Amino acid sequence: MNKQQLAAKIWESANQMRSKIEANEYKDYILGFIFYKYLSDQLVQFAEKQGMSDAEIKALSEQDSDAVDYIKGELGYFIAYDDLFFDLAGCGERF
């Protein structure tokens, strides 16, 4: 499959999904995804600035109450590694 065929397939899929909702409602879903991606990216950037290694970031989970409390105290929220945008979006591992 070449790049043009892939783009056509993506647009076809988007049109099929979009047909189930009104065009003016579509923004509600997209804006939510964009905001969720932003929160996920900010958490990873914060962890990297704190000197956390890739392995430590991958290990972030709600079971580590110290990390959860620290990150919540600094960012105001916490998202476990397995729940970050790129993992849920099916993009695979970030690291």
Is 75 among the domain residues?
yes
Is 10 among the domain residues?
no
Let me know: does 67 contact 60? Beta carbons within 8 Å: yes
Is 61 among the domain residues?
yes
Is 47 among the domain residues?
yes
Cα–Cα dist 73/84, whole Å: 19
Let me know: does 62 contact 78? Beta carbons within 8 Å: yes
Is 43 among the domain residues?
yes
Is 55 among the domain residues?
yes
Per-residue pLDDT tens listing for the chain (95 residues): 677 787 788 778 777 776 667 767 777 778 888 899 999 999 999 999 999 999 999 999 999 999 999 999 999 999 999 889 886 656 555 55
Domain boundaries, position 67: 27-88
How many distinct structural domains can be found in the chain? 1
